Amino acid sequence: MINVALPKGRLGEKVYATFEKAGFECPSIKEVNRKLVFENAEKGVRYFWVKPSDVSIYVERGAADIGVCGKDILAEYEPNVYELLDLKTGVCRMAVAARKEFFDDRNSTLKVATKFVNIAKNYYAQKGREIDVIHLNGSIELAPILGLSDVIVDIVETGATLKENDLEVVETIMPISARLIANKASFQFKTKEIEKLVASVSALAEQEKI
Amino acid sequence: MSETILKNEERVALSLRALYRKYGYLPYKMSKFEPYDLYSSNKEFLVGDGVITFNDADGKLLALKPDVTLSIIKNAGEENRKVYYHENVYRKSGATKEFKELMQVGLERIGEKDVYALYETTYLAAASLKEISDNFVLNVSHLGVLSAVLAAASENKAFGKAAIALLAQKNLHEITALCNAYGVDETAAVHLKTLVKTYGDMPSTLEKLAPLCQNGQAKEAFEELKAVCALLSKSELAEHIRLDFSVAGNMKYYNGLVFKGFVGGVPESVLSGGQYDKLMQRMGRKTSAIGFAVYLDLLEGLCEPKRDYDVDLLVLYDDNTPPAKIAAAVQKGASEGKSVSAQKETGKLRFVTLVDLTGGRTND
């Protein structure tokens, strides 16, 4: 039995549809109820929905054998897991954005508002730029508008929210997409089952580009 | 109704010490503190990045030991040594990122390197896992092979660092992107990708690996790995030993064989080790060394039956109960191998059997 942690929301549903097509369906997952765990003993899979940012924790701690989460979460928390597949869905990018008139004055410390503190710190450390990180949990775009920060580091999908708030992308840090991850210990003891699932999903993802 | 007094990790520690003694390893005992310098100059060798420091009475900066290997090397001369240790170390726990006291058992073999020495250490790593559980896997890799394949791809240090991190994740898609970004030639890129995909039992993995190791350092490392695997294949633990190049280790310290061990029911590796000649060189030693540690704190709760009571027997008494009656009841229970608690009130204690000596009752 493989335990699979899926991220709640649109991405998770899309990924489940791929798993289903790949032959790892679990019909009970589509029933409308408050159940959290769904199992198909015949196919050897058990799914559960968790908050997207918690998927890597479930997998790293072995509560789930495999899981699907965004590269942003993996880059931010650096969990000790295998990253077996790029599902090429949920595609977006991690970027630095600022007000259109922003000029980076290197004489002063750059104030950076973000949910992704480690990504921001690592990125600017590589550039040798001194920063003051302001950790926010939401509405990051508001920070430069109100003068709380000079720039923001956040996920950009279409750029529409930025545009509506007179912000623009200044630099791209990294491309983001959904990744299939596995617990390192589980992989040793369920190698064949995980390999089979990864091969089926990979073939399908390649064929359909999800 | 008797209970096992030893916790799982304590039982394992005892059996591992007996195992290492059987193979001629001598006990090594170290002090709780070492000069901080020892650790600060070899920071990257340590698992995790925290050391608890404090000032000695004379102002010298000391550290609560986060590791045992460095201390063993520091105190070892150039002569051959085979030691095992059972020590508590103090460092940040992987999951909680908070300082913890962690129990660790391990062995170090310092001296001339030969195939038998490499085999024996790897075999003992597998045998250590077997002491913990029958359901175990020892993943073995060889940094000689890995560094030769990496060097053929690119001499760029940033490339090497990124590639090792991706290998440790079995991250084939990003290795491909990395090779493209650094303009790695096709053959070298294919070899590197083969390393990511090559894992499994010893014979079939060696077969897949052979074409990558046709000459130079790669061939030399491959031949060494093959010789060790030939011996391991004959052991009763062979089916649990696999080759897997996602076991990388820090190449500043490690070279040659490296390994990681897993047991069913524990979500992370419980054993880690390898050959660390480069660390020896950094510490001014000319000899070779190989060793491993078993992280016993991770075994807490593994395979232990969950108890839903505190004691087998509760002896309840009051002010009128003669003390001799209480003592007799407690001794009777204890002599039958039961855990006994004598007290005036039940409180929140959970027990299996009650011996009530209150109100002049007797246990006769």
User: DSSP letters of B4-41?
Assistant: --S-HHHHHHHHHHHHHHHTTPEE----SEEEHHHHHT
Over residues B183-236, the pLDDT tens digits come to 999 999 999 999 999 899 999 999 999 998 988 889 999 999 999 999 999 999
Over residues A42-60, the pLDDT tens digits come to 888 999 999 999 999 999 9
Interchain proximity B139–A188, CB inside 8 Å: yes
**Residue B115: what residue type?**
V
Contacts of B169 in chain A (CB under 8 A): 81-83
pLDDT of res. B359? 81
- Of chain B, the percentage scoring pLDDT greater than 90 comes to 56
Strands A167-176 and A92-99: antiparallel
Is the domain of B322 the same as that of B343? yes
Spatial neighbors of B291 by CB under 8 A, at least 6 apart, are B69, B106, B107, B108, B109, B121, B273, B276
User: In the predicted model, is pLDDT for residue B96 greater than 80?
Assistant: no
Is the domain of B28 the same as that of B9? yes
Q: Would residue B362 count as lying in a domain?
A: no
Supply φ then ψ for residue B21, to 5 degrees: -60, -40
Structure token pair of residue B220: 């030399």
Is the domain of B127 the same as that of B268? yes
Q: Best of B169, B178, B244 to disrupt the A interface by mutation (most A CBs within 10 Å)? A: B169
Is the domain of B130 the same as that of B270? yes
Contacts of B268 in chain A (CB under 8 A): 60, 62, 80, 184-185
pTM score, two decimals? 0.87
pLDDT of res. B67? 83
Work out the average pLDDT over B19-42. Answer: 87
Q: Would residue B197 count as lying in a domain?
A: yes
d(CA B7, CA B10): 5
User: In the predicted model, is pLDDT for residue B1 greater than 50?
Assistant: no
Which element (helix H / strand E) includes B280?
helix B277-282
Neighbours of A195 (CB within 10 A): 13
Q: Would residue B155 count as lying in a domain?
A: yes
User: In the predicted model, is pLDDT for residue A210 greater than 50?
Assistant: no
Of the candidates A33, A34, A74, the residue with the CA atom closest to the CA atom of residue A54: A74
Structure token pair of residue B117: 């020495």
B254 in Cβ contact with B143 (< 8 Å): yes
Interchain proximity B171–A83, CB inside 8 Å: yes
CB–CB contacts below 8 A, A to B? 45
Closest approach of chain B CAs to the CA of A153, in angstroms? 22
d(CA B134, CA B130): 5
Is the domain of B131 the same as that of B269? yes
Using alpha carbons, list the distances in angstroms from residue A11 to A37, A47, B18, B241, B343. 18, 14, 53, 38, 59
More confident residue, A134 or A207: A134
pLDDT of res. B60? 87
DSSP B89-102: EEEE-TTT-SEEEE
Is the domain of B121 the same as that of B268? yes
**Residues A50, A55, A59, CA angle at the centre, nearest 5°?**
125
Q: Would residue B277 count as lying in a domain?
A: yes
Q: Would residue B83 count as lying in a domain?
A: yes
Scanning every residue of chain A, which has its alpha carbon at the shortest distance from the alpha carbon of B135? A189
Is the domain of B193 the same as that of B114? no
A59 in Cβ contact with A67 (< 8 Å): yes
Interchain proximity B268–A185, CB inside 8 Å: yes
Q: Would residue B41 count as lying in a domain?
A: yes
Structure token pair of residue B119: 């085999």
SS3 B284: coil
Burial of A88 (0-12, 13-18, 19+ CB in 10 A): middle
Is the domain of B72 the same as that of B96? yes
Closest approach of chain B CAs to the CA of A194, in angstroms? 13
d(CA A177, CA B340): 59
Over residues A149-160, the pLDDT tens digits come to 999 999 999 888
Q: Would residue B190 count as lying in a domain?
A: yes
* B8-13: long-range pairs with CB below 8 Å, 24+: B8/B299, B8/B300, B8/B301, B8/B302, B8/B303, B8/B304, B9/B103, B9/B296, B9/B297, B9/B299, B9/B300, B12/B105, B12/B131, B12/B132, B12/B294, B12/B296, B12/B299, B13/B86, B13/B103, B13/B105, B13/B296
pLDDT of res. A32? 74
pLDDT of res. B10? 85
Over residues B160-180, the pLDDT tens digits come to 999 999 999 999 999 999 999
When divided into structural domains, chain B yields a total of 3
SS3 B352: strand
Q: Would residue B251 count as lying in a domain?
A: no
Is the domain of B14 the same as that of B126? yes
Closest approach of chain A CAs to the CA of B324, in angstroms? 52
Of the candidates B336, B330, B325, B145, the residue with the CA atom closest to the CA atom of residue B247: B145
User: In the predicted model, is pLDDT for residue B301 greater than 70?
Assistant: no
Is the domain of B86 the same as that of B164? no
Is the domain of B292 the same as that of B315? no
Is the domain of B224 the same as that of B345? no
Contacts of A61 in chain B (CB under 8 A): 95, 267
Of the candidates A99, A96, A103, the residue with the CA atom closest to the CA atom of residue A147: A99
Structure token pair of residue B31: 């002090």
Q: What is the CATH number of the domain that holds B103?
A: 3.30.930.10
Residue B6 is part of which domain span? 1-135+264-306
User: In the predicted model, is pLDDT for residue A78 greater than 80?
Assistant: yes
